[in-house]
Amino acid sequence: MLQFPRMAASGASPIRVMGIDPGLNITGYGIIERRRQGTILIEAGVIRLPRADGNNLPLRLETLFKGIQEVVEEFRPEVVCLEEVFSHADFPQTAVLMGHARGVICLAARLARVPVFPLSARRIKQSVTGNGNASKLQVQRAVQQEFSLGAPPKPPDVADALAVALSYLNTLRVPTSAIRLRGGRLR
C-alpha cells in the first residue's frame, strides 16, 4: 500500500525525504528537505559495493543494507523514495539483481519504520526536467539548477537519487484529487 507521510500545511513543519537510485555497484542517495523557504539539499553521496566476484552477491547486498541503515539512522528521513526496477527483455538477469538491491533497501527502511515510496524512471524525469525521456545529463543539470550547485552532481547516481527525492516532493504539490493511489491513502 502506498502511503504519503503527513504533509504539513503551508506554515507547518518541514518534510525530509531520502531519494535512492539503487544499484549493485553504486547506489546513489540524496537527502533533501522542504522548508518554508524552499527545498534544501542536506546530504548526497554514494554507497560503493564490492565488485561482483563469483558468488559474493550476499556480501554486496549486506554492504548495501548496512550503508542504507547508516544513512537513514544519521539523517532520519520521513520517507524513502526509490526508483522502480526497469526491466528490458534482453537483460532479464539485470532486473532480478536490481530486485535484490531494492529488497534490501526496502527492508532497511522498514526496520527503521520509514515508509517507502516507489517512482518510475519516466515519472522522475518528467517531474524534474519536464521530459519523461530526458538523458542522464539533463537530469544532472536540472538537479544542479534546483540546488544552485556549481557543477552537475557526479557520479550520475547522486543526481538520479536527488531527482527521485525531488520528484516525490513535486508529487506532494499536486492537489490530492489529482493523485491516483492503488489502495493507498493520504494522511
Q: How many CB atoms lie within 10 A of CB 97?
A: 18
Give the residue among 66, 99, 70, 96 at the shortest CA–CA distance from 82: 99
Question: Do 163 and 118 form a contact (C-beta atoms < 8 A)?
Answer: no
Catalytic residues: 21, 83, 157
Rounded CA-CA distance 6/79 in Å is 10
CA angle 178, 85, 34 (to 5 degrees): 50
φ/ψ (deg, to 5) at 71 = -65, -45
